[in-house]
Amino acid sequence: MIINKEVQYTKDVNANKIVAIKEYDAPLEQVWSAFTESSILDLWWAPKPWKAETKSMDFKEGGKWVYAMVGPAGERHWAFVSYKKIDKHKRFTAIDAFCDENGVINTEFPRMDWVVSFAETSEGTTVTIDITFPDEAGMQKILEMGFEQGFAMALSNLDEIFDKQ
């Protein structure tokens, strides 16, 4: 059983990078599915009381996931993930950006390069999310929006799903 379920963050301002590490009490295949299937992502990806709502998802190299973060009053903030490289059950790389409901990128916010890695452990699965920004200003903008707290809340939502299984 994993004792520390908190998200571990490191920030490297010189490299414009944030790394989040989260351990789950679940087998690798389940954790992989939770990060790559929209029906599961919609259950946990947003910090409460927000929820994620997928418009479309094609998890393959060159595919995209377009989704909305839906607030308690029904407000929607759109984002998309463009998958670059997928190594099943090991890692995927992607570009993450804010967009409109049609997937058109909102250039007022930075694009982020994500590397999401999965490692099976004796207790479950460790996920390492390496996020690189184009510049320090972009990284600071996302941090000022509450990224660390919101993302930690979302990642912890997945614990609740695994605890129910």
pLDDT at 165: 73
Judge contact between 19 and 131, C-beta under 8 A.
yes
pLDDT at 164: 82
Domain boundaries, the chain: 8-164
What's the pTM? 0.94
Judge contact between 16 and 135, C-beta under 8 A.
yes
Phi, psi angle pair for 159, to nearest 5°:
-55, -40
Q: Which CATH superfamily, name and number, covers 8-164?
A: START domain (3.30.530.20)
Give pLDDT tens digits for 57-82. 999 999 999 999 999 999 999 999 99
pLDDT at 4: 65
